[in-house]
Chain A
Amino acid sequence: GQQLNQSPQSMFIQEGEDVSMNCTSSSIFNTWLWYKQEPGEGPVLLIALYKAGELTSNGRLTAQFGITRKDSFLNISASIPSDVGIYFCAGQPPPRGGTSYGKLTFGQGTILTVHP
């Protein structure tokens, strides 16, 4: 099946620094999604990307859908302590057999720690 390689696995940064993480796949996706999960809670959608080459921002977050449709990155600028959490990328593959459901393949997550 499809697999996503997400890196780095963890990051320890100082408040104010910029952060970059990425995901790569051996197969193409139609949609790339980025989620943030805080302890004891479910993942929350940050950014959704629907088109190859698309660059989308959400406040201090910027994400891009790779031209090859096999990768995506997420940048966080000027990090703050509340950015702490686990960030997941997820990809939706092209539909098979006309089935319309949104099965996702998830990366293993990037644990972000921000020191004040």
Chain B
Amino acid sequence: SQTIHQWPATLVQPVGSPLSLECTVEGTSNPNLYWYRQAAGRGLQLLFYSIGIGQISSEVPQNLSASRPQDRQFILSSKKLLLSDSGFYLCAWSAAGNNSPLHFGNGTRLTVT
């Protein structure tokens, strides 16, 4: 069966420091991969998605970037964190194709101080 791993679970970083969140998927090949951010309150905002290695699409302009160095690995990064980057970051995968549901990881709670 497919599983998704996301780490770390929580992270406290000072303003201006770099960020690297990692997500890996097991049990499937060529998945679509996604990074979402969930601010306090509830809504989920799509940040990046990827349909293949090295193929990244950004949904909103921001201080973050994403990379997909391997088929089942998705990384969210920042060179210099802002206070506004605090939030709950969720990685998700779906099978290739347009009608496949998303499956989420357990998220990373990022607090920028």
- Interface of A with B (CB < 8 Å)? 30-31, 33, 35, 40-45, 48, 50, 86, 88, 90, 92, 94-95, 99-104, 106, 108-109, 111
Of B51, B90, B92, B99, the contact of A50 (CB 8 Å cutoff):
B99
Q: Is B96 an interface residue (CB 8 A)?
A: yes
Q: Is B112 an interface residue (CB 8 A)?
A: no
Query: How far does the alpha carbon of A106 sit from the alpha carbon of B111 in the complex, in Å?
Result: 24
With both chains docked as a complex, state the minimum distance between the C-beta of B74 and any C-beta of chain A, in angstroms: 13
With both chains docked as a complex, state the minimum distance between the C-beta of A27 and any C-beta of chain B, in angstroms: 15
Pair count A-B, CB < 8 A:
66
Is the interface on chain B under 10, 10 to 19, 20 to 34, or 35 or more residues?
Answer: 20 to 34
Q: A50-B99, A108-B42, A109-B43 are in contact. Are A102 and B94 (CB under 8 A)?
A: yes
Query: How far does the alpha carbon of A43 sit from the alpha carbon of B44 in the complex, in Å?
Result: 10
Whether B51 contacts A100 by the Cβ 8 Å rule is yes
Whether B42 contacts A31 by the Cβ 8 Å rule is no
Whether B49 contacts A101 by the Cβ 8 Å rule is yes
Whether A102 contacts B98 by the Cβ 8 Å rule is yes
Query: How far does the alpha carbon of A92 sit from the alpha carbon of B105 in the complex, in Å?
Result: 19
Whether B32 contacts A42 by the Cβ 8 Å rule is no
Residue of B with least CB distance to A41: B106
Whether B46 contacts A31 by the Cβ 8 Å rule is no
Whether B101 contacts A48 by the Cβ 8 Å rule is yes
15 CB < 8 A contacts A-B: A35-B104, A42-B90, A90-B102, A100-B51, A100-B96, A100-B98, A101-B32, A101-B51, A101-B94, A102-B32, A102-B97, A102-B100, A103-B46, A106-B43, A109-B43
